[in-house]
Amino acid sequence: MVMADFRLVEINNLSKAFDGNVILDNISLDVKKGENLVVFGQSGTGKSVLLKCIIGLITPDQGDVSINGQLTKGLNIDELNTIRKKMGFLFQSAALYDSMSVRENLEFPLSRHTNLSSKQREEKVRETLRMVSLEKSIDKMPSELSGGMRKRIGLARSIITDPELMLYDEPTTGLDPITTKEISELILNLQRKLNMTSIIVTHDIVCAKIIADRAIFLKEGKIAYEGSIEELTNTTDIFLEKFFSTEIIKD
Amino acid sequence: MELPKLITKRKPTAGEKVYNFFTDISRLSLFTFRALKYVFIPPYEIAQIRKHMDELGVKTFPIVSITGFVIGLVLALQSQPVLQRFGATDFLPATVALSVIRELGPVITALIFAGRVSSGIGAELGSMRVTEQIDALEVSAINPFNYLVVTRVIATTMILPVLTIYVNFIALIGGYFAVIITDNMSFQYYQNAIISSLEFADLVPGIAKTFFFGFIVGIVGCYKGYTAEGGTEGVGKASTTSVVMASLLILLFDTLAVKISLWLWPTLG
């Protein structure tokens, strides 16, 4: 449920360049609590950089980001980590820890940031794995999992600490259409169940149609479009028509 | 702390190579200062340190055992005919002991440790870097520098002196095997001759420098892996360059350590 008044994420005049190449150019954006915002754009237009600026993996050249009303700029690592504990991040590659089993991957943030007993942690791990329908894989190593399973486990690891804000970096890239739909529905269900706010970077119109409350389109480092997903896909803008022409799946 | 950037062109010019060489040294220095700072900042990750001491140190015992034995054996075999020419075969135990304990044991153990461990750390952290696992730790509010770098550097610094003492011992055993092949010397005599030839000043510098060698192996492997770029190619580079850099730094520091120990204990000369 979107809370109309409360802006969980506020981005003001954010700019970032790499080796003189401007990736984000003066971006301003708000995300309301409980909202699912989808970020579209061609490859290299700074979608992932935007997510990494929000979570503090990349320091912007200009502008600032506020999470829950708190500016992330100028915070020391401990203060930034306090904010990060309320956030989840699903990497494009899922970024599971290779040396740990599925159980250990999920338990790791719990053992670090909560005072749960080992029994409570085990219950929480199993409960979260049930949400992503992979309880049977609890003792597997990441190398034994398929691409879709890795994404699900990555998702489970991200949500296990009950974050208020989830950031998804291309959650369905490289997956077949059926798994794409399943992962997208899973994200939507989790968002409803846990009342999370989500920012989803994707190229995938199927995923966006399922998840998005609102969408933006990044072009040359700026927000070229902002609105509902229906408006975006029915646009008369030549560039956007071209972008979506190969991807739109008719109802 | 942002590290200065290297020029990553496919075919750098001679000037760019020189620039990269000095930039690499400054990056390693900054990385080292950062690691030293984080050693004193909690959490201390004791369980991880113990795990790495086992993985990086204990599992190196087989290879250094063989090496240590062969060093002692070959050294004694090579020295015996030369000493015999001067009628000084009684000095064989002292020759083997002083060579092994002062120099060969620490340096060769460190070089083997660098080959096995530095490359392993470089590859492991490099792989974690390019597959975003280090970023995943960071977004999970876990300090990856503390968790990955500091723990490994402490483990390598602590375990190499232990390995070196062990290698020294095995090398002396290897030396005795050479002695009984070529000469008729009792173990009691061999042992007494070694003990009487060694002084405190022979033992301390040889072991003291291995703490620094261990630190070099850990910090170079972590630096190369942690800062790896460019996919699997970057992982391979991190692995190979960490061995080269660690080995060169060990030899460089060894020269310095010899000069310092001769200055502190002039009787060693």
Residue B221 belongs to some domain of the structure: yes
Residue A46 lies in a domain: yes
Rounded (5°) CA angle B247-B253-B258: 125
Domain total of chain A = 2
Do A141 and A183 lie in one domain? The reply is no
> Is A86 among the domain residues?
no
pLDDT in tens, B135-175: 999 999 999 999 999 999 999 999 999 999 999 999 999 99
Q: How confident is the model at residue B95 (pLDDT cuts 50, 70, 90)?
A: very high
Question: What pLDDT does residue A243 have?
Answer: 79
* pLDDT-wise least confident of A73-82, B3-12, B29-38, B238-247: B3-12
Q: Is the pLDDT of residue B53 over 50?
A: yes
The pTM score is: 0.88
A221 found inside a domain: yes
Q: Report the residue of A86, A96, A145, A160 to disrupt the B interface, i.e. the one with the largest count of B CBs within 10 Å.
A: A96
- For residues A62 and A172, membership in a common domain is answered with yes
CB contact under 8 A, B135 and A57: yes
Average pLDDT, chain B: 92
Q: Any residues with CB less than 8 A from the CB of B262 and at least 6 apart, and which?
A: B268, B269
Nearest-CA neighbor of A91 among B128, B144, B16? B128
**pLDDT higher at B263 or B134:** B134
Classify residue A5: in a domain, yes or no: no
Tell me whether residue B32 is in a domain.
Answer: no
Q: pLDDT tens string for chain A (251 positions)?
A: 555 578 899 999 999 999 889 999 999 999 999 899 999 988 888 999 999 999 999 999 999 999 999 999 889 888 999 999 999 999 999 999 999 999 999 999 999 999 999 999 999 999 999 988 899 999 999 999 998 899 999 999 999 999 999 999 999 887 888 888 888 998 898 888 888 999 999 988 888 999 999 999 999 899 988 988 888 878 778 888 777 775 544 44
Contact across the interface for A91 and B142, Cβ inside 8 Å:
no
Q: Among the three residues A105, A132, A163, which one is the final residue of a domain in this structure?
A: A163
What local confidence, expressed as pLDDT, does residue A249 receive?
47
- Tell me the average pLDDT across B224-249: 94
User: Is the residue at A133 inside a domain?
Assistant: yes
Instruction: Reply yes or no on whether the pLDDT at B259 is more than 50.
Output: yes
List the strands of the sheet with A87-90, edge to edge.
A87-90, A165-169, A197-201, A36-41, A214-219, A222-227
Q: Residue A137 is part of which domain span?
A: 95-163
A112/B132 Cβ within 8 A: no
Q: Are residue A134 and residue A54 in the same domain, yes or no?
A: no
Please count the structural domains in chain B.
1
Residues A112 and A169 in one domain: no
pLDDT in tens, B107-117: 999 999 999 99
Last residue of a domain, one of A163, A178, A213: A163
Last residue of a domain, one of A118, A135, A163: A163
- Contact flag A89-B139 (C-beta cutoff 8 Å): yes
Chain A residues whose beta carbon lies within 8 Å of the beta carbon of residue B6: none
Domain presence at residue B19? no
pLDDT higher than 90, residue B125: yes
- Residue A51 belongs to domain with CATH number: 3.40.50.300
Confidence of residue B1 (pLDDT cuts 50, 70, 90): low
At B15-50, the pLDDT tens digits run: 888 998 999 999 999 999 999 999 998 888 899 999
Residues A107, A126: one domain? Answer: yes
Window 138-167 of B, Cβ < 8 Å to A: 138-143
Same domain, A228 and A181: yes
Contacts of A87 in chain B (CB under 8 A): 139
Using CA of residue B114, residue B115, residue B116, residue B118, what is the dihedral sign?
Answer: positive
pLDDT in tens, B178-211: 988 877 788 999 999 999 998 888 888 899 999 9
Indicate whether A236 and A174 sit together in one domain.
yes
Taking Cα atoms as reference points, which of B34, B10, B5, B35 lies closest to residue B22?
A: B5
d(C-alpha B260, C-alpha B212), whole Å: 14
Q: What is the average per-residue pLDDT within B242-259?
A: 96
**Within this chain, do residues A191 and A206 fall inside the same structural domain, yes or no?**
yes
Same-domain status, A169 and A159: no
Residue B95 lies in a domain: yes
Main-chain dihedrals φ then ψ at residue A8, nearest 5 degrees: -75, -40
Provide the pLDDT for residue A251.
44
Per CB-CB distance under 8 Å, the chain A contacts of B146 are: none
Domain of B183 in residue numbering reads as 46-268
Question: Is A176 found in the same domain as A150?
Answer: no
On whether residue B29 sits in a domain, the answer given is no
Which residues are bridge partners to A217 per DSSP? A40, A225
Give the closest of A77, A97, A112 to B133, CB-based.
A97
Do A57 and B138 make contact, defined as CB atoms within 8 angstroms?
A: yes
